[in-house]
Amino acid sequence: MRQGQYLGHMVTKGDRRTFVMAIERAKRLAEKDDAQPVLWTHEGADPDGIGAMKFVRDYLSQKHGLTARIITGPIMFTARPFAERLGVDISEKEDNFQSAGMHMVLDTCAKPLLNGARGVLVPERTLVIDHHVPDVTSIEAAYMIRNAVAISTCEMLASIVPVREITREGAFALAVGIASDTDRLRVAERRTIAIFERLLRMANVKRTEIDELADPSWDPKITRMVGSDLNYANWQTYEVGSKEWVIAIGQTSLEAPFILANALRRLNADISASFTEIGIEKFKISIRVGFAQANKTGVHANDIARRISQLCELPQEQWGGGEIDRAGVVIPGTPTQVVVMINAAIKDIIHLATKT
């Protein structure tokens, strides 16, 4: 797919009609709720995200006479010249969201919106427009603000999700529901699966799909979201020679590994004796975490690996990832993937193994 073909990236003529519909619906909804609109995107640290928000700013100015500001926090080195040409206010402080009237906030994470203790002022009624699939972070931000509305313009679906009364778990499920409706997600999932299938055939490996990781009381939608909450990757589990499970989480949000780790930690270990009888004592779990979302939010890949290990209550074998400067930008030339290797006793993944 060529760059600029879908929104979330540079808005083309083919995208504009649906995108404008999303903006208008958002504006009407905000007016109906008597809300002070705050337009925000978590993809502000790249040139395409800034370009998309410039389109919103220009449209609101020309169509409605509304003045909008574009603000971004720490920004990727590739986007800085582009942002400066567009008149974007680049700041590395989290208190730069205070503004009168209608404004847009471009930042790579919703955490500043939630972090009132650090001087961030957010109206009680807030409109969150997310030009990507609303992931856990943006949905949770809307949930925490309570009266917010999250809007997805990803793939020009212009989905509107009221978040007023839902639970935190419901917010996660909504994020999954939106993601599952996008054509781009489905295409990427098919491509991802096809690539994995080809590699697995070459390695003579049996694939096993797992629909639920946690105990039955968990909503399976939450578990399935681990790989599809944000950036396109379907979530597959593979059994390698009855000894190794490879859980692939392609380019995902920071919350997803934590959800996965928590699920692993909760696995039912009551029937581990049955596996001792067939001679299986240990499995090795390999968790591959996409690094891109981590570098945008300034969290080192090693920190993700360490956190997964802690949440799983399992020893960590190794981790790796690119170096990051103080602004959370990956230093050019360093690796952009992290592979987390965790050795797990069979009791910790017994629930997985029983599904084969």
The domain locations on the chain are 13-181, 188-353
Higher per-residue confidence, 354 vs 55: 55
Strands 89-90 and 282-290: unpaired
Mean of pLDDT values over 287-301: 38
| Confidence tier at 55 by pLDDT (50, 70, 90) | low
Q: Is the pLDDT of residue 302 over 70?
A: no
Q: Is the pLDDT of residue 21 over 50?
A: yes
Q: CA–CA separation, 227 vs 135, rounded Å? A: 11
| Confidence tier at 198 by pLDDT (50, 70, 90) | very low
Cα-based torsion angle of the residue sequence 122, 182, 15, 34 in order, rounded to the nearest 10 degrees: -30
Comparing 67-71, 153-157, 284-288, which segment has the lowest mean pLDDT? 153-157
- 8-state DSSP, 151: E
Q: CA–CA separation, 165 vs 308, rounded Å? A: 31
- Distances in whole angstroms, Cα of residue 89 to Cα of each of 68, 106, 107: 12, 10, 11
Mean of pLDDT values over 341-354: 31
Token couple for 175: 């994020």
- 8-state DSSP, 99: -
Closest CA to 326 of 159, 21, 92, 9: 92
Which alpha helices (DSSP H) does the chain contain, by range? 13-32, 47-64, 80-85, 111-114, 136-145, 168-180, 183-203, 220-228, 255-265, 273-277, 292-296, 301-312, 350-353
Q: Any idea which fold 13-181 has?
A: Rossmann fold (3.40.50)
Mean of pLDDT values over 202-225: 29
Mean of pLDDT values over 285-294: 36
Q: Is the pLDDT of residue 3 over 50?
A: no
Mean pLDDT, all residues of the chain? 39
Residue 64, pLDDT score: 74
Name the phi and psi angles at 92, rounded to 5. Answer: -105, 20
pLDDT digits (tens, 9 = 90+) for 117-140: 223 333 333 344 443 333 333 433
Closest CA to 122 of 40, 23, 52, 25: 40
Mean of pLDDT values over 223-235: 26
Residue 231, pLDDT score: 25
Mean of pLDDT values over 253-275: 34
Q: Which of 56-60, 154-158, 352-356 has the highest mean pLDDT?
A: 56-60
Q: Which residues pair with 339 in a beta bridge?
A: 288
Predicted model pTM: 0.34
* Residue owning tokens 């993937």: 337
Residue 8, pLDDT score: 30
Comparing 71-80, 232-241, 294-303, which segment has the lowest mean pLDDT? 232-241
| Confidence tier at 58 by pLDDT (50, 70, 90) | confident
| Confidence tier at 63 by pLDDT (50, 70, 90) | confident
Higher per-residue confidence, 72 vs 109: 72
∠340-342-346 over CA atoms, to 5°? 150
Q: CA–CA separation, 63 vs 275, rounded Å? A: 66
Conformational region of residue 204, where left means phi above 0, alpha means psi within -120 to 50, and beta covers everything else: left
Above pLDDT 90, what percent of the chain? 0
Higher per-residue confidence, 38 vs 315: 38
- Distances in whole angstroms, Cα of residue 10 to Cα of each of 54, 66, 143, 268: 9, 22, 28, 47
Mean of pLDDT values over 63-72: 64
